[in-house]
Amino acid sequence: MAKEIKVPQIGDGVESATVSEILVAEGDKIEKDQGVIAVESDKASVEVPSSAAGTIKEIKISEGDEVEVGQVIILLEAADDDEDEADDKGGSSDEQEEEKTSEENEDTEEDDEDEAEEKDSDKKKKKVKEKKANDREEDSEEDGEDEKKSSKKDESEESDEKSSEESEDETSKKSSGKSTESGIQASPGTRRLARELGVDLSELAEEISGRISEKDVKEFSKKGSQKSTKSASVSLPDFEKWGSVERKPLNNIRKATAKNVTASWQSVPHVFQFDEADITDIQQYLEANQDKAEKAGGKLTITTLLTKIVASALVRFPKFNASVDMENEEMILKNYVNIGIAVATEKGLLVPVIKDADKKSIIEIAVELSNIAEKARDGKLSKEDMGGANFSISNLGGIGGTNFTPIVPAPQSAILGISRSAKKPVYIDDEFKPREILPLSLSYDHRLIDGADGAAFINWITQALQDPYKALLGA
């Protein structure tokens, strides 16, 4: 018997994705949980696993197709083990026949009982209907009297209504904006989804009367993403007037990046802060422990060390590990430390997450960073790999530049940028000495974090980089 393999839930709020690669062919024998296709959504590139083992009978999609959650993508001939298991559960034909006969006898007895119950029920229903009919007759008589009394009143008030109609229209126009902000009808789950998708419920309420559903939010998000990215762009001229052009569609990762950074830039009041750290001594620490990391399967880098240092800083400065909820006027403080690490890939920027970074050693972080970076470049990150970051780190030091201002990825509150280090003369002990200086850029959400907080945070990180044991010993 053929089994259907369907597109599972790829991520929160993700309803569709593009098939980037088909990993199997018709006739292949596959195992349960084996990847069958790779899809690229607006949040990640992931492999879809098979829900059963067996032989592939039919592949119902092609590369480049848009697939939706729940859509059948593959028909599978179940493995022999599954068929045997089904036979075992079914039992022998004699046993099945006996069970069938027994069930038929039971059904006959139940039918007789049901028939008697139905007769009693019909009598009760008939009485109820008669009572309702009498009630309606009484109500209609009362309504007739009320209509006679109210008709005279309506005639006298008609002229007053006409004269006040224009003033009421003006009042309703002025109050409509306020009511949509304060009286939006939506469940907590719908409001949470709106925050995740960057949907302004007050704008949506202007288009929808009554209670807003999750479906309304998703549909508005699709339209809003196009509208927001277009509205944030300048009107384009006809470039072909000056020469030939070529148009290429944006891939899903690039479209998601455009949507997310636009929403973050428009909703988060950014503050940017800069500092420099002397990493001359810490480079010696990295070199001395590189062999240990490589034997474990990782590599010690400034990003590795900064992940551990930032994890310690987030424990000491909890606002940087928090999110702001303006709708409920609350600060959401998290009791876990998850750090997103930006990874550049051919398809765009991906940000896998190191979970519980404060509880892991530098060697453990080094190994995990190597693994997730490789998965990101191979397009094999799962939704679990990408979710739950409280703070992000973006290192452009390998490419170049002296400083940059990264955009805070809402609903996070801050992000740390790392630029290329360089040797600079530093005045120490009455003389200038060559030191390796690392530029740091901190961006944070001013709704939650003040300038003094930002200065203290980046200063602590700078001091920890200059003293490698500061973060490790919990100083």
Chain-centroid distance of CA 259 in Å reads 13
Cβ contact 49:58 at 8 Å: no
Q: What is the DSSP letter of 402?
A: S
Distance (Å, whole) CA 16 – CA 9: 9
Burial class (CB in 10 A: 0-12, 13-18, 19+), 291: exposed
Phi and psi angles of residue 5, each rounded to the nearest 5 degrees, phi first? -100, 125
**CA dihedral (272, 273, 278, 282) positive or negative:** negative
Sorted by sequence, the CB contacts under 8 Å of residue 56 that are 6+ apart come out as 24, 25, 26, 27, 28, 29, 30, 36, 74, 75, 76, 77
Q: Which amino acid is at 177?
A: G
Cβ contact 442:278 at 8 Å: no
270 catalytic, yes or no? no
> Where is 207: in which H helix or E strand?
helix 201-207
Q: What angle do CA 281, 367, 41 make, to 5 degrees?
A: 120
Phi-psi region of 18 (alpha: psi -120 to 50; beta: other; left: phi over 0): beta
Distance (Å, whole) CA 452 – CA 455: 5
Of 363, 344, 356, nearest in space to 292 by CA: 363
Distance (Å, whole) CA 342 – CA 289: 24
Indicate which residue of 61, 446, 467, 470 is catalytic: 446
DSSP string of 348-381, one letter each residue: EEE--EETTGGGS-HHHHHHHHHHHHHHHHTT--
Distance (Å, whole) CA 22 – CA 35: 9
Known catalytic residues are 446
